[in-house]
Each structure stands twice: as structure tokens, then as C-alpha cells.
Amino acid sequence: MTGALRTLGLTAARHARATIVIWLVLLILAALGALTLARGATANYTMPGASFEAVREDLQAKIPDNGISSGYVVLEADNGFDDTQKQAITQAVTTIDQLPEVAGSLDPFIAADAATQASVQLEDAKAQLAQAKAQIDEGQAQLDAAKAALPQGLSSEEIAALAPDLAAQETALAQARTTLRSNQDKVDAAQRELDAAADANMVSEDGTAAIVNIAFNQDTNSLPTSVREEVFSTFDTLKETGLTVNYSYELDQDVSDVFGISEIIGLVVAFIVLLITLGAVVAAGLPLVLALIGAGTAVALVYTSTAFIGMTATDPVLALMLGLGVGIDYALLILYRFREELRDGEDVLDAVGTANSTAGHSVLFAGMTNIIALSALCLTGLPFLAIMGFAGAFAVALVVASSLTLVPAVLSLLGTRVLTRAQREELKQLNLARTQEIQVPRNRREAFAEIEAAYKGWGGFVTRHPIAMTLVSVAVLVLAIIPTTSLRLGLPDGSYQATDSTSYQAYQTISEKFGEGVNGPIIAGLTLTVPGDEARLRDVALDVADRLKNNKIESVAIVATSDDNATAILAFFPSEGPSADSTLATVHAMNDKLEATEKATATTIGLTGSTVANIEISERISSSIPLYLGVVIALCLVLMAFVFRSIIVPVTATIGFLLSTLASFGAVVAVYQWGWLADIFGATQPGPILAFLPILLIGILFGLSVDYQIFIVSGMRDAHRKGHSAGDAVVLGYKQGGAVVTACGVIMVAVFAGFIFSHLTAVRPIGFALALSVAMDAFLIRTTFIPATMYMLGEAAWWWPFEKKERDEEDTPKHIAV
């Protein structure tokens, strides 16, 4: 493999300009594809085989215009709505109704007038019933008086014969009572339905807010951008009348931008770190520029693929995060080795070949590890999570390819310009020594690999206090793990968005004016086993509502019925928002009652809607975490054992991975669920953690932790094989790989931290978790915990029962005559 990588690097170097042109053309073509073909990312979280999906599809077939997939336009008028504003709203609703994607929209004032009229009609009906009852009672009294005037002891037949008018009057009264009871049942049913939906209003009680409900004939997540823009442009005209207009999260899913000012700040920090590490502007800028080319190409191609594959909003962002992070790290590794070879006196081409065959081998192995870990997300059985993993894996694969071809090409053109001025001066002295045929060490790294010098650094400090450093690092991580015990998963809604976003404003207005539960109703679909008329269907639907609801349900509304009067859709409005603990408990309680309710009402019932979907998807992901974590741990153990021929090294690597992963979970819970430092990190409303964050973090951190483990422990293994004691090998290995891991860790933290303040709020906790987990893994685990435990274990750390370990007998440095 090293030979093939050397050949690849030399080929790219010998055809440097052609290689660079190929990558630039690929970047341009990918960008053109993204601009012309991409349909844009969505937030379409689906789960084949889920009960909510089956219920939604069944209702879609029975009631095509069911209103389940809908979005809200929230309108506000400080002093109430005047007639001009109401007319403008009606006109906007009429315009939107013409769109083929719109199943129907509800004018809040027409609906309010209809509800008022229905209430008035109901009161009129009650008055008429009372009048009819009074008339029946009066007629009965007259009938009883007439019967009393007749001789006593007459049979009904005799009464009919003597007074036929009385018999007819009695028959009429019986029919009137039957009619009265029938009408009373209708009035009671209407009152019952009105009472159930008493709080399901589209105009607030104070008259300053109104909701336009727009129902679509397709999932809101798959709506074309043109439809959203048409909705926005239509209702934005209402601002001219003095109204405040906001749009719910279902409508406002702007994922067109994946790069903003915070991400740029992260790159600036990364450049500063590179400049400090490498000491030359050209060398510092090179990894950034090359990573941007590789990651940019990957993200553009991911966007282009949305023309054929549905993606969530986080897919291209994840590709960008990983592409930039690992792209900078991989380019830095090759550049670092290239500079060392130049300083050892190698010519440019030989330095390129050596760097690509050594550091490039580490890049290839690290990249493959990341690709495998991310691709393994398909084990969850969730398509959106699998696609997310494949998008990240694709970005890593493309960055690996650019690192092994584009980086060597550029390095061959830059040559010694990647060195600092002092290093170039040293190289001149080395070249002068060549002309005088002085023997010089081939490997100048031995100058800083001396044991005495190695013990003066951080590695020496850690190994002088191995027990204390192990306890400190573990204690810090365990403290961070504690909040993990209250981890609760969920999916984003309007409350998670930035405080200045229209979806957040819409969510808050609805919560304040109508109740938080209106933001996420629980939808129930029911079908009669024996179809009847509409009255029976609505009556049974209300029976179902009474049986399913609890004290956490504020109101229930029948939102749609089928043409055959066999199916109805109910909307349950909880007292709290869709991500609240009480709403979760209510959905579980309703599910528990379904079977008994079906038997009692002779119906089949299912729950669906975004609130139910988010709960079911989150629980499915949560149940997948143990399997995925188990696979990743097993993979970590096998890979480490294969690379290092040791039993202990894989175990310590896995323990470190688990500690840093769980600690990052705990930190995310503390900030984004408990609300600690929420204002600093932009957690607008603390609540459940993004459902796929833990499993995504496991996959990404696994790949990165394996990378850092290899960079640190490879040097220890090499020193041990050359005959150094186990303790000295730890210090020498750390001296060799510690600086690289530290630089890579700081760079990765800077890149990921740039996404903590992304305009996509779903990305913020991902950026926070990745930045913190990399920091803990790089600085507490790989550069502290691992050296300390390896030093304490001594020779036992290298125990390998399957073959006899051979030492490298090369104890003297190689020299060359020049």
C-alpha cells in the first residue's frame, strides 16, 4: 500500500498543474450542478414501517384533503383587526387556495364568524326545543284534563270510540315527543362538539392575533421552494396594511445557506493555529485552501444529489463540517511530513513521495475508519440517518482523495516555500555540507527524539505523575457524564429556532395567544367498523375523544370526515408544546388506551401528526443507540488490535472513546436540555436533545478518536520496537505525535465550534458536541489518559498472545555520505 501511495503522490507531483486543473474543474462542475439541479434540502424525517406513517398514508387514501400536512401563517394587529385588514387576509387566502399544492386554507375570521353563527343557531335551536317542550307539556295537560272529564274505568278502545279527537291528539303528542328527542339529540351532539373544540380558535380572545391554517396535499417537508416563496410573497403583502406576519416552522425551513460568519471565524482561528504551528504563512494557508477545495466539491455534489435523493437540512452541513475538519487535518499531516523530509535533505519529489507513502498511509487508514463508522449509520434502519451518514462518508472520501493527489501536486510546486525562513537557512547549510562530503544524520528527528529532551515536555510531565493524571482526566470526564442520566431526545420545532427567526416568533405568538399545544396537535384517525351516517360518525368520534383525552388535553376538534361517513380525523390540542414532557406522557397514555377504546366504540384508531412522528422517531433512534455503539466498540477493538498487535492498546483506546463520548453527551444535556449557559450558546428554549445527535456523535467521534490514537501510539510502538523500554517509548512516541495531535485537535475544535452559532439551530448542538468531544478526546484522553495508562502498564501494554513480538534491531542512526 505504501508503494502505491508513493506512486500516486509522485504521479500527481509530476503532473501537478494538470492535477490542480482537474480538481478545479471538478469543483466548478459540482458547483454548477448544485446551482442548476439541486432541489434543496428538507427536514423530512421519515421512518418506514412506523405506525404514524401507516396511519398518515391510510388517512391520505380515505380523506385526500385531510389537512394533516399543514402550516400556519400567524398574523398580529396591535389594536385588533379592522375591516380593511380582514379583507386583505381573505384575498390572500383566496389567492393561496388557487395553488395546486394547497388542499385548502382557512380564513380565521370566516371560521370565527361561522363558529359564532353556529353558536347563535344552537342557542336558537335550544330555545325552539324549549318552546316545543312547553307546547307538548301544555298539550299533555289539556289531554289529561279531557280524559279526566270522561267516565272513569274506560278502556283505551272505549275512549277512542267516545272521543276520537283525544286519541288523535295523543298520537300527535307521541310523535312530537319523538321529534323532540331526535332534535334534542342533535342539539346535544352539536353542543358537545362545540364544547370539545371551545379552545380551538383561530382568532385570539383579545382579537389581536389570528392564524391562517394552510393545508397541503403533500408533506410540508417535500414542498417545492416555489410554493413556499408564493406563500411568503402573498402574505408578506399584508405587512403593508400594518399587520405583523410570521410563518410556522413547517413553512419556514430555509436551508439554502450552510456557511455563515461564525463558520468563517472558525476558519480564521484554524489559520492562526496553523500559523503558530508551522511558522509560515504559505504553509499555514495551504491546508485551509486545499481543504476548502475538497470540502467545497463534496458539499456541492451532496447538494446536486438532492435532485435525486431527499435529504435533511443537516446533511450538507455535516458534509461541510467533516470535510473542512478532516480536510485540514489530513493536509496538515502530509504537509508536516513533507517539511520534515525537506529538512532532512530530501529533494522535493522524494519528499512528496515519502510524505504520501507515510503520512498518506495514516490519512488513508483514518479516512477509511471515518467512512466505515459513518456508513454504519444505516444499521439504525432509518433512511434519513443512513443518508446523513453516507453524505458525511462521501465528504470524507472526497477529502481523502484530494489529500492524496491535490496536496502532493501543490507541494511539488511550492517546494521549500512551505518552510520558515530559519528552516530554509538550515537547508542551505545542509546543502553546503553536501558539497564538502560531510556525513550528516539522515533522520534529523533523532535530535528531538532523545529521551532527555522528551522527558521535558508534557509527555514527561504526564509520565512522572501517571496515577494523578489518570485520576484527574477520568474525574473531569465522569463529572461531565453525570447529566447524561437525564438525556431526552426529540426533533426540532419552532421553539428551537433562533429568537429572531419568523418560525420562533410564530411559535411564541401561538403559545401566548392560543396555547402552546396549538403548535403541535396530536392527530388521531378513526374508522367505523360498521359505517353509518355523518351524525353517527361525529358522535362516535366524540366518544373516542372522551376516552382518549386526559387532563393535559385542552380541546379536541373534528377536523375532517370522509365522504362515506366512515372515517374521521381528530385533533387533540395538549396544554403544553410538542416537545414537553407532559405531551410525551399524553401520547403514551393515548396509545395505551387505543385497544380498549377500539373495542368500546367499534372503531380502528391510530395516532399520527408531527408531534407523534417526532416522539416515535426519537424513541426508535434511542433504541438503536446500543446496537450502533456496540458495533462501533467492536470495530474499535478489532482495528486497534490489527494496527498495534496489542490487547491492551485497543482496550484503553475504547475506554477513552467511551469516556469522551459520554462526557460530550452530558455537556450537551447541561447546555441544551437543562439550560446552563443557554444564552451564551444560543439555546433559545432548552428542551429535548436533537434525536440523532448521540448516534451521529458516536460515529464521527469514533473515527476521529481512532485517528488520534494512531497518531499518538504509532510513535510509541515504533520506539518500543527499536529497543526502547516501554516507559521511554511512551515519552518518545508522545514527543513524535503529540504536537500533531494537539494542532489537529485545536484546528478541529475551531472548525466545529464555528457551527455552534449557525443560523440553522439544529446544527448548533451538533457543532457544540463535536467541538467539545474532540477537545476532551484530544487533550484529556489521547494526550493525557493514554500516555499515563500506557506508562503505568509498562511492557504489559504491548502483550500480544498470537505471535512473538520482534524488536527492530536497528539501534544506530543511518548516515549518508554527501
Greatest distance between any 2 Cα atoms in the chain: 152
> What end-to-end distance do the CA atoms of the chain give, in Å?
31
The whole-number pLDDT of residue 718 equals 82
Name which residue leads in pLDDT, 53 or 75. 75
Asked if residue 423 belongs to a domain, the reply is yes
What is the domain count for the chain?
3
Element (H, E) at 210: strand 209-216
Residue type for position 439:
Q
The whole-number pLDDT of residue 509 equals 95
Asked if residue 720 belongs to a domain, the reply is yes
- Over residues 279-305, the pLDDT tens digits come to 778 888 888 899 899 999 999 998 888
Of 155, 171, 196, the one marking the end of a domain is 196
**Residue 707: pLDDT over 60:** yes
Separation of alpha carbons 182 and 169, rounded Å: 20
> Using alpha carbons only, how large is the chain's radius of gyration in Å?
36
Name which residue leads in pLDDT, 270 or 408. 408
Share of the chain above pLDDT 70, in %: 90
The whole-number pLDDT of residue 811 equals 40
The whole-number pLDDT of residue 273 equals 79
Cell of 199: 379552545
- 282, 374: one domain: yes
- 430, 467: one domain: no
User: Model's pTM, two decimal places?
Assistant: 0.80
The stretch 413-423 carries a mean pLDDT of 83
- 744, 676: one domain: yes
Separation of alpha carbons 367 and 174, rounded Å: 87
* Exposure b/e, 167-200, CB count within 10 A at least 16 = b: bebbeebeebeeeeeeeeeebeebebbeebbebb
- pLDDT-based confidence at residue 399 (cuts at 50, 70, 90): very high
Report the range of poorest mean pLDDT among 129-138, 491-500, 512-521, 691-700: 491-500
The whole-number pLDDT of residue 118 equals 73
Asked if residue 105 belongs to a domain, the reply is no
**133-142, 340-349, 787-796 — which one is most confidently predicted on average?**
787-796
Report the range of poorest mean pLDDT among 147-151, 433-437, 498-502: 433-437
Asked if residue 525 belongs to a domain, the reply is no
483 lies in which domain range?
A: 448-500+617-803
**Residue 737: pLDDT over 50:** yes
- Which region holds residue 794: left if phi is over 0, alpha if psi is between -120 and 50, else beta? left
- Is residue 377 within 8 Å of residue 695, measured between CB atoms? yes
Separation of alpha carbons 310 and 423, rounded Å: 51
Name which residue leads in pLDDT, 104 or 775. 775
Of 143, 166, 196, the one marking the end of a domain is 196
Asked if residue 512 belongs to a domain, the reply is no
- 693, 783: one domain: yes
- CATH number of 469's domain: 1.20.1640.10
- pLDDT-based confidence at residue 264 (cuts at 50, 70, 90): confident
- 339, 433: one domain: yes
Share of the chain above pLDDT 90, in %: 36
- 433, 314: one domain: yes
The stretch 383-406 carries a mean pLDDT of 92
The whole-number pLDDT of residue 44 equals 63
- 317, 274: one domain: yes
- 164, 175: one domain: yes
Asked if residue 514 belongs to a domain, the reply is no
Asked if residue 654 belongs to a domain, the reply is yes
- 769, 719: one domain: yes
Q: What is the DSSP letter of 105?
A: E
- 661, 631: one domain: yes
Report the range of poorest mean pLDDT among 374-378, 424-428, 517-521, 606-610: 424-428
Using alpha carbons, select from 722, 733, 719 the residue that is nearest to residue 809: 722
Signed CA dihedral, 606, 610, 613, 619: sign only: negative
Averaged pLDDT score across all residues of the chain: 85
The whole-number pLDDT of residue 773 equals 93
Q: Are strands 440-441 and 815-816 parallel, antiparallel or unpaired?
A: antiparallel
Asked if residue 657 belongs to a domain, the reply is yes
- Is residue 583 within 8 Å of residue 574, measured between CB atoms? yes
- Is residue 391 within 8 Å of residue 316, measured between CB atoms? yes
- 272, 375: one domain: yes
The whole-number pLDDT of residue 787 equals 94
**Residue 357: pLDDT over 50:** yes
The whole-number pLDDT of residue 140 equals 84
- pLDDT-based confidence at residue 813 (cuts at 50, 70, 90): very low
- 139, 35: one domain: no
The whole-number pLDDT of residue 2 equals 75
Name beta bridge partners: 317.
none
Of 446, 471, 488, the one marking the end of a domain is 446
Report the range of poorest mean pLDDT among 388-392, 452-456, 700-704: 452-456
Query: Strand locations in 337-423, DSSP E?
Result: none
- Over residues 575-608, the pLDDT tens digits come to 999 988 899 999 999 999 999 999 999 999 999 9
**Residue 473: pLDDT over 60:** yes
**Residue 160: pLDDT over 80:** no
Separation of alpha carbons 779 and 748, rounded Å: 12
The whole-number pLDDT of residue 274 equals 79
The stretch 46-67 carries a mean pLDDT of 83
Report the range of poorest mean pLDDT among 60-74, 203-217, 418-432: 418-432
